[in-house]
Structure formats: C-alpha cells, structure tokens
C-alpha cells in the first residue's frame, strides 16, 4: 500500500434531487440540468431559463410523503404547492416533461426526513452504516481533474467538444493525481483545525446517461458515453462504464445534537491517501 498526496481543487454540493413518488432524474428528464440552486442560511432558491426565481424556506414543509430512490422507499416532506407548480411550469415545457406529468401526476420538491435515515449498502462499505439521503447509493463522489483531462483528450481526438466537470456531479475534485488514480485510493484524509476528516472510497461510480446531458442547454447526445465505453469498462462491475469513486465519511461527522462545530473543508486543502488495487467485495452485487 503506497501513500498519495493530493489537494482539493473543487467542492460541489447538489441541494436538489427532484422526486415525485418515484424518482425523476436527468436520466429521464434532461431539462432538469437547467435548474440551478442556491442556498442562503435556511432558504433555497431555484432558477431556470424563462422562469421567475423560486425562494423557499427549508424550515417550512407541508405534508409528509413517501418517495422511492433506487428501490428504497424513503419518508420525506413535500415542500409545497408553489414548488410543485413551479417545477410543472418549467419541466412541462418539454415533451418528456408532459409525458411524465400525464403518467405520474404533478412534480414535487421534497425534503429528506432525517428521522428516518437511509444508509448505503454495507456490502460495499465494509459494514459501515454510512448515512445517505437522496443520492443513488453513496453520499459522496470523488473525481480527479486528470481523469476529466484524459476524457477530454479522447473526446477531442474523436472530433467532439471537451466537457466540464459538472457533467459528472462530483462532490470533491482532486488535483495532483494521475488520470483515474482515484480508482486506487482507499482512504482520503484531511486535517481541519486540528481535527481529522476521513473518507473511505468504496466503489467505482457506474455511469448512466447523465454525463451525456449538456448542462448549459439541457440537450443530450451520446458522445461522452461512447468515448467512456471505449476505455472505462469495469470487469469487476460486469462491464459497467465507470468514472470517479463513490465515498463515505468514516471520521469527522458531528452528531446533529452536538454543540461541536462541524469541520469545514476548503478548496486548496491538502489530502493524504492510501492507494491499493481495487477489487469487488465478494458479498457485494455489482
């Protein structure tokens, strides 16, 4: 096992994953990529082309409801009729949005209920009950700048335009690594004010069609997926196309009822990691 040094080049958060009874994502509705979000204290703002901004208090909810995320039925809170109408007005402008409205009824903006925790698959986390919310399987995604640079090199060689990191929806973007070197990282440790924050990188991130969606236009083509499939098929995951590593927090979390301040990660912060070859756990299902 070798030691690897890197630094945090970018930090990303994704406040909204829209759900309506069963999950509706960019896989089904690429226009969702055009909705931008901003959080200020306890308020959230949604913006989209041609729409007035929507301002909501995160402390105000209406009715409890159930949503489904990758086979898990998850208790949640509806953020209200105004949010539902706003989403319907914008997403309903597309043919696919109209189809989903007819098939499933109104869109809903929902908030996760922390009283009913959802955890990642312990077969991948080594038994750690890692808290997850509406993300597909794991709470964090780690990608290196060099991995995107390698993809863009291959895209341009094939006559396609380069793409941005936002297509892959990472949380932590690392500099100082080689292309796809994050695949070999097992832990990622950062010192924050004399305290340690440690991530465990648990599973390569299998990719669906979302990276094919242009976040500036909401339109999709298959260039990114095709190029990734030419060199990123993972035999350990039954030939899935992978890009980046899913991760969980194993050190540094602060309990909700604690008076301690949460550690705050910052761009340019240095990281230390242990690297080794990755293998699919025998108890896990790819």
Q: CATH 2.40.33 occupies which residues in the chain?
A: 2-13+135-275
Does position 205 have pLDDT exceeding 70, yes or no? Answer: yes
Q: Report how far apart the first and last C-alpha atoms of the chain are (Å, whole number).
A: 24
**pLDDT score at 24:** 45
The more confident residue out of 69 and 224 is 224
The more confident residue out of 19 and 218 is 218
CA gap 133, 200 in Å, rounded: 17
**H helices, E strands: number in the chain:** 5, 18
> Pairing mode, if any, of strands 140-144 and 172-175?
parallel
Does position 227 have pLDDT exceeding 50, yes or no? Answer: yes
**pLDDT score at 101:** 82
From 48-52, 150-154, 255-259, the region with the lowest mean pLDDT = 255-259
**pLDDT score at 19:** 29
CB 185 within 8 A of CB 205: no
pLDDT above 70: percentage of residues in the chain: 88
Average pLDDT of the residues of the chain? 84
What's the fold here for domain 2-13+135-275?
Answer: M1 Pyruvate Kinase; Domain 3 (2.40.33)
Residues 6+ apart with CB under 8 A from 90: 31, 35, 48, 50, 51
Tell me the mean pLDDT in the region 41-52.
Answer: 87
Does position 56 have pLDDT exceeding 70, yes or no? Answer: yes
What tens digit of pLDDT does each residue of 16-45 get?
A: 653 222 334 555 677 788 888 888 778 888
A 10 A CB-CB count for 97 gives: 22
């Amino acid at each position: 096992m070798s030691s690897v040094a890197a630094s945090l080049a970018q930090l990303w958060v994704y406040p909204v994953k829209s759900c309506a009874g069963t999950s509706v994502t960019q896989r089904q509705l690429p226009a969702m990529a055009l909705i931008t979000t901003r959080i200020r204290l306890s308020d959230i703002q949604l913006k989209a082309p041609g729409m007035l901004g929507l301002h909501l208090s995160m402390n105000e909810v209406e009715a409890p409801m159930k949503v489904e995320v990758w086979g898990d039925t998850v208790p949640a809170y509806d953020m209200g009729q105004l949010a539902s109408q706003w989403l319907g007005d914008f997403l309903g402008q597309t043919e696919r949005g109209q189809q989903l409205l007819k098939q499933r009824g109104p869109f809903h903006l929902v908030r996760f209920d922390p009283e009913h925790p959802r955890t990642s698959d312990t077969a991948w986390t080594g038994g750690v009950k890692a808290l997850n919310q509406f993300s597909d399987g794991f709470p964090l995604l780690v990608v290196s700048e060099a991995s995107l640079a390698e993809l863009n090199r291959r895209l341009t060689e094939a006559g396609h335009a380069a793409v941005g990191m936002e297509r892959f929806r990472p949380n932590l973007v690392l500099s100082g690594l080689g292309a796809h070197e994050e695949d070999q990282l097992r832990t990622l440790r950062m010192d924050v004010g004399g305290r340690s924050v440690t991530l465990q990188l648990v599973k390569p991130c299998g990719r669906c069609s979302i990276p094919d969606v242009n976040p500036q236009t909401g339109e999709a083509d298959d260039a990114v997926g095709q190029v990734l499939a030419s060199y990123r098929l993972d035999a350990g995951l039954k030939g899935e196309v992978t890009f980046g590593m899913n991760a969980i927090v194993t050190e540094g979390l602060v309990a909700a009822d604690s008076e301690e301040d949460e550690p705050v990660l910052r761009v340019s912060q240095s990281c230390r990691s242990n690297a080794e070859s990755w293998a699919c756990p025998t108890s896990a299902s790819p």
